Amino acid sequence: MKQPAPSLTHRIVIVGGAIIGSFCAWELRRAGHTGPITVVDRDMTYARSSTALSAASIRTQFATPECIAMSLHAVDLFRDLAARFGDRDADIGYVEGGYLILGTPDQVDERSAAAEKQRAHGADIAVLTGVDLASKFPHFDFGDVGIGTVGVSGEGWFDAWSLLSLVKSAARRLGVEYLEAPVSGFATSGSDVTGVRLGTGETLPCDTCVLAAGALSGRIAALAGIDLPVVPKKRSVFNFQAPVARDGFPMLFDTSGIWVRPEGDGFIGGIQPAAADDHDADDDFEPHRDLFEDVYWPLLVHRIPAMDQLRMRSSWAGHYEVNLLDHNAVIGPHDELGNLVFATGFSGHGVMHAPAAGRGVAELITTGGYATIDLTPFGWDRVRNLRPMVETMVY
């Protein structure tokens, strides 16, 4: 596969200005790239971006070792924001509250082995069963649970908007230009993208193009004749209050498929719709309100009986950029348009993996390879050859 020629001076256009695109731009400057960098996004208010509408959590419990490494990279950044961004007031409200991922009795061996693998790759994961689970989380009913794995450190949640604002401001201070405009196509010559066409009629010339458009990446790649299996899937988030103590309450992923965590003075949570109802969302941002009373609430009460007294406050819906091939990111150059670099398809993990993705893209463009984390397994060739690297821990 053709790699983009390393350069510190050529023109870069990044399609997508939210968390992934902004980390790519910032890291390119940190890697020493002095040439012009333009980040293009159709809406710089980010009102409907996956970043702004994210549940903004981070975990190290993955089946893919590279995903674990990317999460640990972000944790290091979150713990050292002031120094990394040169801003002593930098704060994203990072709370290391842990993920509690529950398993059924017949999953004990499988989940124990997964935790052992995660620890081998640097994650701080504890395995809990029986009385240990009940004593640590007394509000929960674990009658049908065989195992719980929890991140002792390095897992939790944060404010994604604050992180985006922080990295975007840092990128702009380093001379990155942000331009609000829709992308209408690409200009190409032979095996290169030579420009990004805008809905305004303008074409931005480029020597390298980075596609980091989140849930819209598949639609935008199609403008270049590329079949990128990344589609927007709608995920609803419910915000509610309940007479349940928030201190020590983790991000819970239940055996039923629901999730819940503290947020402010209440809680947020959600569940995927049934497969038959999980259509490509595109411009649909209407929450699945029927899921709350019909599906989510009964399952929540089953696990946490005191949630029977909750009071619904609001709901919203955002888009996951789901990679239909294997629920893992696509990072690296296209095989034919070699100066088109992908940074997309994170399948709900984009906010937590943005720092590592940005670092990797910057290393690839400026040096021709990866140094911090080897992101080669996320490359385009597995998409081209229909050779999935399946991430089994998807929520």
Judged against a pLDDT cut of 80, whether residue 371 lies above it is answered with yes
Mean pLDDT of 96-102: 96
The tokens for 376 are: 């080669």
Question: Would 12-56+160-229+325-384 and 95-153+233-323 be classified into the same CATH topology?
Answer: no
Mean pLDDT of 273-279: 91
Mean pLDDT of 22-31: 98
At residue 2, the pLDDT reads: 60
200-239 pLDDT, tens digit each: 999 999 999 999 999 999 999 999 999 999 999 999 999 9
Mean pLDDT of 70-89: 94
At residue 1, the pLDDT reads: 55
Judged against a pLDDT cut of 80, whether residue 100 lies above it is answered with yes
At residue 295, the pLDDT reads: 96
Q: What is the pTM of this model?
A: 0.96
231-270 pLDDT, tens digit each: 999 999 999 999 999 999 999 999 999 999 999 999 999 9
Q: Where are the chain's structural domains?
A: 12-56+160-229+325-384, 95-153+233-323
Judged against a pLDDT cut of 60, whether residue 390 lies above it is answered with yes
173-208 pLDDT, tens digit each: 999 999 999 999 999 999 999 999 999 999 999 999
Mean pLDDT of 90-119: 96
At residue 212, the pLDDT reads: 98
Q: Architecture of 12-56+160-229+325-384 per CATH?
A: 3-Layer(bba) Sandwich (3.50)
**CATH of region 95-153+233-323, choose from 3.40.50.1400, 1.20.1300.10, 3.30.9.10, 3.40.140.10:** 3.30.9.10
Nearest residue to 394 via CA among 321, 293, 305, 289: 321
* Band of pLDDT at residue 393, cut at 50, 70 and 90: confident
